[in-house]
Amino acid sequence: MLNVTLRDLEYVIAVESERNFTRAATLAHIAQPALSQAIRRIEGQLGVQLFERTSRQVTPTPAGHLLAADGRRMLREMNATVEAVKQLGTQNPKSIRVHVSEPSLQVPRRALIALRNAFPDTTIEQTTLPQTQVLDQLRSGALTLAIGEAYRDPAIRTTPLTEESVVALLHHTHPLATRATVNPEDLASYPLASIDSTLSGWDRLVERFLAPTRPNWSRSKAFGAASAADLVDDTQTVLICLESIAHDHHARHRTSRSLTPPLSARWYVSWRPQIAGRATLDTLRATFARLDDGPTLAGSDSNRAIPGCERR
C-alpha cells in the first residue's frame, strides 16, 4: 500500500505552485533540504518523476501536475469533511451556504426564510452560481445545499422538494390570450422567451414540451425568469414559466394561460450527506411536504445536471 500522506500532498502542491524549492519550503513551513528529500521519497514510492529539476528551474511533469491538482481537491474535501464532522449532531451549525438558481422566486425564498428562522445564530449565505460549478462545490463541501435542479453523482444526494404547475405568460393583447389553454402547436408560431443556460436548464424543459417542434426562441436572452417576463411586453413573445412567476408578474397588460397537456416542474434539494446536518434537512422537510428520505438520484454513469421537470 502506498504511504502518501496529506502532508506529502502539501509538499507536492507547494513545489508545483512555486516552481522553486526555496520558496516552496517557506510556503510549506519546512527546511529546503528536508523538502527536497521528501519529494524524492514520494517519487520513489510512486515510481514516477514528479518534477524536472535543473540548476535554474523546477518544472512539474504531467504526473506532478496531476498529483498537485487532485491533491488540492482532496485537501479541500478533507478540510470540509473535518468541519462537517465537528458540526454533525449540533442543532446550530456555524454556517449554511445555499445555492439557488433564482433567489427572487417563491420556493427558494421560503426555504431561506425557514432556515433563518430555524437557525437564528447561524450565518445563512445565499449564492447563485453558474450551473457548471454547483456540483463541484457540493462535492467539496463549499456548498451545504443546492435548491433548483437535480444532480446525478455518487457523492451527492438529491430528492424532490416541491412541485409547481407551469403556464404561459403573455401580453393581454397577444392572439393566444383569447384561448383558455395553449398547446405546443399554438406556441410554435410565436417567439418564446429564452433563459440563459448559465443560470438554469429551463430552456430544455420548454424544448421537451414542444418536441418534436423546435422552439422559435426570442432574439433577446434573459438572465433569469424575472427579466424574461419583461420580454412578453412586445405583445408577441410568450414566456413558459412557473405559475408562481406568472402570478408575481401579473399586471394589467399581462395574463397567463394553462398548458395542454399540463406541465409541472419539480424543485429539488441536493446535498452531500457528510456536509448537511440532520437539523438542516429537517427544517426543509417541515417546510415542504414532498421532502422525504427517498432514494438518492445519484448514479455513477452521469455527472450532469438534469432539469427539474416532468409532464403530468
Mean pLDDT of 3-32: 93
For residues 102 and 191, the model is more confident at 191
pLDDT at 42 over 90: yes
For residue 92, what pLDDT band results from cuts at 50, 70 and 90?
low
123 touches 112 (CB < 8 A): no
Cis peptide before 62 (omega within 30 of 0): no
pTM over 0.85: no
- Of the listed ranges 86-90, 168-172, 187-191, 251-255, the one predicted with least confidence: 86-90
For residue 215, what pLDDT band results from cuts at 50, 70 and 90?
very high
For residues 244 and 199, the model is more confident at 244
98-115 confidence digits (pLDDT tens): 999 888 889 999 999 999
47-90 confidence digits (pLDDT tens): 999 999 988 889 999 999 999 999 998 888 888 777 666 655 55
**HSE toward the beta carbon, residue 95, CA cutoff 13 A:** 10
For residues 199 and 47, the model is more confident at 47
For residue 263, what pLDDT band results from cuts at 50, 70 and 90?
very high
> What pLDDT does residue 84 have?
63
**Could you say which DSSP state residue 233 is in?**
G
Q: Is 79 helix (H, G, I), strand (E, B) or coil?
A: helix
For residue 116, what pLDDT band results from cuts at 50, 70 and 90?
very high
Mean pLDDT of 113-124: 92
Mean pLDDT of 218-228: 86
Q: How far apart are CA 82 and CA 171, in angstroms?
A: 53
Contacts of 251 (CB under 8 A, 6+ apart): none
Query: What are the two backbone dihedrals, phi and then psi, of residue 246, each rounded to the nearest 5 degrees?
Result: -60, -40
Mean pLDDT of 212-232: 89
457548471: which residue's cell?
132
Q: How far apart are CA 200 and CA 226, in angstroms?
A: 13
For residues 88 and 217, the model is more confident at 217
Q: What is the mean pLDDT of the chain?
A: 86
> CA torsion sign, 175 to 256 to 128 to 68?
negative
The percentage of residues in the chain with a pLDDT greater than 70, rounded to a whole number, is: 88
> What pLDDT does residue 192 have?
97
> What pLDDT does residue 296 have?
43
